[in-house]
Amino acid sequence: MTQNDDILLRGTGFQPVSSTNDILLSVENLSTHFSTQQGLVRAVQDVSFAVKNSRTFALVGESGCGKSITALSIMRLVPEPQGKIVAGKIIFNGRDLLGLSGNRMRAIRGNRIAMIFQEPMTSLNPVFTVGYQIEEVIRLHQHKSKAEARDLAVEVLRQVRIPDPQRRISEYPHQMSGGMRQRVMIAMAISCKPALLIADEPTTALDVTIQAQILNLLDDIQKQYKMSILLITHDLGIVEERAENIAVMYASRIAELSDCRSLFEQPLHPYTQGLLKSMPRLGFTEKRLYTITGVVPDPLHFPGGCKFHPRCPIGCNDKRCQTIEPLLREVIPGRQVACWYAPGYERPDDPKL
Amino acid sequence: MIDSVQKTFKAPKGVSLWRDGMRRLFRRPLADVCLFVILLYFALAAFIYICEIFHWQVGFTLWSQEVGPSYQAPCLQNIFGTDIFGNSVFRRMLYGAKISITVALCASFISIGIGVPLGAIAGYFRGVVDEIIVWIYSTLSSIPYILLILAFAVVLRDKTIYGIKLTGITSVYLAIGLTSWVGICRLIRGEVIKHKEREYVLAAKSYGCSDSRIIFRHLLPNVFHIVIIDFSLRFVSFIHAEIILSFLGLGEADRPSWGAMINDARIELARGVWWQMVAATVAVFFISLALNIFGDALRDSLDPKLRVQ
């Protein structure tokens, strides 16, 4: 085991490898494709972003825009053989995850990078008690006896605020409510104190009050463990106070990447503008909410040019939007956008039509 | 406040799906009776084994003891009469239970041992592995079942493999076990294909489980009720297969089994000696009926899809 591996797999306490920045995970030009019977689906195209230490990064987008596949690509859990990561790098803690062997990757999953899923009702194995499932994660990654693992399981259950964890630990998933099960999933995810937690729509299946509780719980755990969170959601409302940076994905590419405050104050991409306008706000007086016209494009037949142009209020009749796809560019320091009409986007040598 | 609520409200203790299924099962009186009959056969077989091991001379296990004249009709002393050598047919019938239960149990273990892992591996990995396994079982299942068992039994009979001599009964259950795993393999494969798309499998992967751990620790417990249901129903067909093999003279040669009794009765019937046939059929009838009803009840109570409140 090289020293680099040692750092990668260290169970507790996180030290950044490079001192120049405090980036934990950086995804560079990631592309993931699926070959289906109908043709090639480019589920993720050229996606790049970086997650900082003990901060939250939000990946926002509609269903089918590629955000979950991005998360699965980071975990290297893209369903094979149909799905394949065709290009890019995933640098976690200074090391490219795509170059690791299956065994090394397994040692990282659940230990250094953990994930929680959208559906707490089906993400737990119905035939085992929740205690057994938490213990399994602990014993897979740490050399602990059964009794020690059990104590630790009770401890993490208490941390996710499950009342009476001593008794709850011997219950089966079907005896718990959705919110409780999501807490158990979080308990499993944090039981090895990971450096990065990927939360794939953690609150979509829960009702609004439970949603707030789960999100607050995640916030507290993040503070306590100094953990980074990659929050994947379609709900801009829940990322507003939480995330430091946001990437808005549309049709398998990032449309806009920005820090949270400026994105909400001044969205640059027409898609982001549409999303923000369609969010109900306190003190909202209009009768009808804004909607983005049209539907999400079929991933087998993306429109040519800018993929958003058929739905775009600005560029739908622009010849250039229809033919040339704008790529992500930094227009203001710290803010990237992919739209010909964004202020400061155009360069003198850009093709004109 | 929460503390006081917790003190007054005590939730029921955790009930697994398995225990819940058992509770449903024992609510049916007919299933209970059938289980009792099945257990009686098992107990009888076990008791005969114990008597043989410890050389106990318990009356009804001594099938080769002369109890009366040849071909004595059923009477109070010998309720199923005697056979050609004057042995009690009733004792022969009881002894037949031992052979049948042994063969059916061993054949079950062999075919579970082959079919379940193969089916799970095929369903989980798909691709080339799946195609090879499916090809093997399709080939096996395209050959008529009885012919296949016969072929295996003839080949295995009295062979010595790794120093172990395959006596009559061993070759019978090997033949049945090696040919009957196809059904359970196919069932498990289908169920695993369905289950591996469930999120708990993805979740297990996401916290670092290996493929073999996912197959054997996560997927198999979720599909194992199928194995139990399938075998409670298939057990009967193993008993029947043993009877057919014995009838055709490929079974245990020098000890009584139900198949051998029916084979003997073939000639005897012409002379009006019907009791051997009746004894064997009665024995087979009760265990078949009990196993069938119990198997159906088991399926009704364990299969979540058939569950009615």
Output the 3-class SS for B101-146: HHHHHHHHHHHHHHHHHHHHHHHHHCHHHHHHHHHHHHHHHHCCHH
What pLDDT is stored for residue B12 in this prediction?
A: 53
CB A137 to CB B206 under 8 A? no
3-class SS of residue A59 = strand
Instruction: Confirm whether the ipTM is greater than 0.90.
Output: no
Residue of chain A minimizing CA distance to B19 = A127
The pTM of this model reads: 0.82
Strands A95-96 and A83-92, by their bridges, are antiparallel
Contact A351/B at CB under 8 A: no
CB B202 to CB A117 under 8 A? yes
- B199/chain A closest Cα distance in angstroms: 5
CA distance B46 to B133: 36
Contact A348/B at CB under 8 A: no
Contact A46/B at CB under 8 A: no
CA distance A184 to A70: 24
Q: Which of A110, A124, A171 sits opposite B208 (nearest CB)?
A: A110
Residues of A in contact with B209 (CB under 8 A): 106, 136, 140
CB A110 to CB B18 under 8 A? no
Query: Would you give the end-to-end CA distance of chain B in angstroms?
Result: 36
Contact A181/B at CB under 8 A: no
Contact B237/A at CB under 8 A: no
CB A127 to CB B16 under 8 A? yes
pLDDT tens digits in sequence order for chain B, 309 residues long: 455 544 555 555 556 667 777 787 778 889 889 999 999 999 999 998 888 888 877 777 777 777 778 878 787 777 788 887 878 888 888 888 998 999 999 999 999 999 999 999 999 999 899 999 999 999 998 988 888 888 888 888 777 777 777 777 888 888 889 889 999 999 999 999 999 988 899 999 998 999 999 999 999 988 988 898 888 888 889 998 888 888 888 877 678 888 888 888 888 888 888 888 899 999 999 999 999 999 888 888 877 665 544
- A320/chain B closest Cα distance in angstroms: 42
Which of B16, B207, B225 should we substitute to test contact with A (largest number of A Cβ atoms within 10 Å)?
B207
What pLDDT is stored for residue A207 in this prediction?
A: 87
Q: Which of A81, A109, A175 sits opposite B207 (nearest CB)?
A: A109
Task: List, in sequence order, the alpha helices (H) in chain B.
Answer: 2-8, 17-25, 29-54, 89-125, 127-142, 145-156, 168-179, 181-195, 199-206, 211-213, 220-247, 258-268, 275-302
Which of A68, A125, A133, A230 should we substitute to test contact with B (largest number of B Cβ atoms within 10 Å)?
A125
Within 280-299 of A, beta carbons closer than 8 Å to B belong to: none
Q: Which of A127, A129, A185 sits opposite B14 (nearest CB)?
A: A129
Q: Which of A106, A127, A137 sits opposite B17 (nearest CB)?
A: A127
Longest dimension (CA), chain B: 87
What pLDDT is stored for residue A7 in this prediction?
A: 47
Contact B139/A at CB under 8 A: no
